[in-house]
Structures are given as C-alpha cells and as structure tokens.
Amino acid sequence: MAQPVLTGTAFAERLLAWFDRHGRHDLPWQENRTAYSVWVSEIMLQQTQVATVIPYFERFIQRFPDVQSLAEASQDEVLHLWTGLGYYARGRNLHKAAREVVEQHGGEFPVDSVDAMAALPGIGRSTAGAVIAQSIGRRAVILDGNVKRVLTRLHAVEGWPGRPAVERQLWTLAEHYTPTERVVDFTQGMMDLGATLCRRGQPECERCPFNDVCVARARNEQKRFPESKPKKRVPLRQTRMLVLRDRRGRILLEQRPSQGLWGGLWSLPQFDSDDEIDTWLALQMGHAQRQAPWQSFIHVFSHFRLEITPVPAQLEAADQVAEGRMWYDPEAPESVGLAAPVKKLLETLAPFTLRPTGPERA
C-alpha cells in the first residue's frame, strides 16, 4: 500500500497556492456553478478534453438551461446536440438522469449524499463527488483520470489504475489529501494539475508544486506511471452502409436500437453484403438501382475498428417509410442525433451527390 508523501494539510496548501496562480478560473461551467451545470460539464468531460467540450457545453446549456427543460426534451434532440462528443451512452444517461431528478427528487439534485448522486444513471462515485464539491462546496472526494495520474505518479503506485486493488489505494490517498476548506478550488486544482502539468505524454515536472516529493520523478520513471491497461488485440469488423436517395436527394435513415452501438442514434441501414442490400431493396423499397460501392473508411472505437463501405442506390420515387425510418434532407437537416461516421459521410456527400441532377460518384 502506497504511503502519503505529505500530510493532508501540507498537500492542500501547496496545491491551492499553485491553483491560485496557475489554475483554470474562467471555464464556462465555473461562471454560475449549480449542480446542474457542473453535472453536465462533468459528464461531457468524461473521456473528452476541455477544449472539445466547451462549445458543446455552451450550446447544450443555451438549449437546456435547467434540468426541467432537459427532462422534457426528446432523446433525439438531446443526442442531436451530443453528436460529435462520442460515447453516446453518456448522452442517453444524461437524459435519463434528468428525468429521474425531476420525477424522483422534485427537480433538485440529491447533493446531500454521494451515494444518492451516484445512484443516478451515468454518475459514478467520482462524478458524484465532483458535483457535490463543485456546486455546494461540501467536502467530497474525486478520482477522475487526471487525479489518478497525479496520485499514481506522486506515489509510484504499481499496476493499472483500473484494477480494483489499485483503485482502492488511490481512493485512500485521495481521501487523505482532500481538505474540508476551499473544496471547490481543491477539486478543480487536482483536475487542472493533471490536465495541464502532469499530462500523460509530456509531464512538466519542473513546474509541479510536488516535484520534490514525487516518487516517480525521483526514480526518473514519470512516463512509466500510470501503468497502461493490458492490451488486447483490437478486432476489425466490416459493414456496408446503404446510401439510398430518393429523387429529391433525401437519404434514408434508420434509428438504432436504444441499447448497443450508437444506441438511439440515426444511421444509414447496415448490411453484411451487397446481396443482402439487393434483397432488402427488393422487399422494402420496390425498384431501386444500386450503384458501385464507394471507397471504404475506418471508424475507430475503443474496443474495435469498423471498416465502413458506403453503397449508393437511387430510388425512383419517394415512398412512405415505416416507423423508425425517415427521409433526411442534408440541405434542411432534422435536429436528430446522428452516428458520428454517418454525420461525417452526409456532410461530405451533400455538396456533390445529394442533388438529383448532380454527377454520380463511383
């Protein structure tokens, strides 16, 4: 078990002195700290950098200024504003949690209890602590990716931090260091230290307020910690996406099942082969002319790579479509959540191949 390198008081004093001079004080969710705004920012920041999150956060809060407006929205509208942030389960859980807060907690976040906060969809122990500490200033411990990296290096904690035994050590250390005063600044400072100095690739140890007590630095092993997750072979999967247009240049989309890959988002119909596409077109759409496939491209997920081959087809007439499908006009797009590669593909196609009289692209 790693032992603390400083007393809790000494650690907090150093961190807060550094934060006052070098921390981030002008992030949009810091302007009017509420449990709602902090919660939205924390969910968006999971596995996503601050610079990417800021414009998404600002658009999201402009459209959904409070938990009530978010709870009343449709999932399509929520996922539309989430499109591009990735990890779409976060967006779905955000919507579910908003409805639970309204229906079960009278529209008020249960910030009096870490356990109650962590019971909401998509909120774990660290996120619950961050919302409580940042919104009401009550002592609550956090352990996000940045904090894990700082504590792991500071104490040279062996093992991948995702392992339960390693994570328990880190929670114990985080508990030891978290003060009862200036908790808002302390938790923000811990996150800032990991994000701006104790970075994964190039830590700036000379500027760190803990460089004299950092065990990893003393060993010259900063880049060894935290240890990486044991690697597994990333499989390659393949799919064919049907780009079916009607005479008006609209594209047929299908809504994905609520669970699983791109859950609840709108996507192009997917198939394993051109023969499957031909059979589906004959049964579902009547006469449609399939064309030569376009260039394949790779979309990378955390646990596999997906090779996508777009297959264009032209429908002679614009038929009515069944529930769960829609005709999507790229020149007057609906406010719906799109799977990231589909959004990218539609944006690429729009100027060239979505116009009925335009040239075809082989």
* Chain mean position to CA 36: 17
Beta pairing partners, 310: 241
Backbone torsion region of residue 159, taken as left when φ is above 0, otherwise alpha when ψ lies between -120 and 50, otherwise beta: left
State the DSSP string of 94-153: HHHHHHHHHHHHTT---TT-HHHHHTSTT--HHHHHHHHHHHH--------HHHHHHHHH
* Chain mean position to CA 291: 36
Catalytic pick among 42, 108, 158, 334? 42
Helices (H), the chain: 8-22, 35-45, 50-63, 67-72, 75-82, 89-105, 114-118, 125-136, 145-155, 164-177, 183-192, 215-218, 274-284, 340-353
- Residue of 280, 276, 278 whose CA lies nearest to 325: 280
Residue burial 174-208, b: 16+ Cβ < 10 Å; e: rest: beebbbeebbbbbbbbbbbbbbebbeeeebebeeb
Evaluate whether 311 touches 241 at the Cβ level (below 8 Å): yes
**Would you call 241 helix, strand, or coil by DSSP?**
strand
User: The dihedral of CA 88, 91, 94, 100: what is its sign?
Assistant: negative
Q: What does the CA dihedral 250, 260, 84, 359 come to, rounded to 10 degrees?
A: -30
- Residue of 60, 71, 93 whose CA lies nearest to 258: 93
Rounded distance, CA 310 to CA 353, Å?
A: 13
Among this protein's residues, is 42 annotated catalytic?
A: yes
Residue positions annotated with a catalytic role: 42
